[in-house]
Amino acid sequence: MQEVLAMTYLWLKAGHIIFVIFWMAGLFMLPRLFVYHQEAPEDSEEAKRYEDREQKLLKIILLPSIIVVWVLGLALAQTLGLWASGWLHAKMLLVLVLSGYHGWMASYAKKLARGERSLTGKQLRMINEIPGVTVALIVILVVVRPF
């Protein structure tokens, strides 16, 4: 029985890490697409191509990844009985921040598709730093487990 639990844990952990990588890649890529989209002339073929790329990234990479990350992450926490761990609570708060960021980016993609360009390229480049800083903090919490 211990072998089965150990193998289950390893497969959950591997899947969680794989889908975190996919999700993070999408979270890094989407704001870059927004910058290029905003720099393209409105209603141009180039702008339409960026809109299409943004929607594909959201639907094919980001949405499935966030779902699998949450499902496997919660399964890992349950399997290991980590619910009382302070570092896990902090990690989950940061994952909620990333999830909110993901939702905000999905809504900004819709705004861009309607021709609303409320942020500058510089602002989007700065916003693009949010997932990097957040995931660095998450990795520290998971590896170091400071509390």
**Which residues fall in the annotated binding site for heme?**
16, 91
At 83, phi and psi to the nearest 5?
-60, -20
| C-alpha Rg value of the chain to the nearest Å | 18
Query: What whole-number distance in Å separates Cα of residue 145 and Cα of residue 147?
Result: 6
Tokens representing 98 are: 């990333």
Q: How far is CA 99 from CA 51, 52, 74, in A?
A: 21, 22, 14
Q: Extract the annotated binding site.
A: 16, 91
Burial of 53 (0-12, 13-18, 19+ CB in 10 A): middle
Cβ pair 123, 34 in contact under 8 A? no
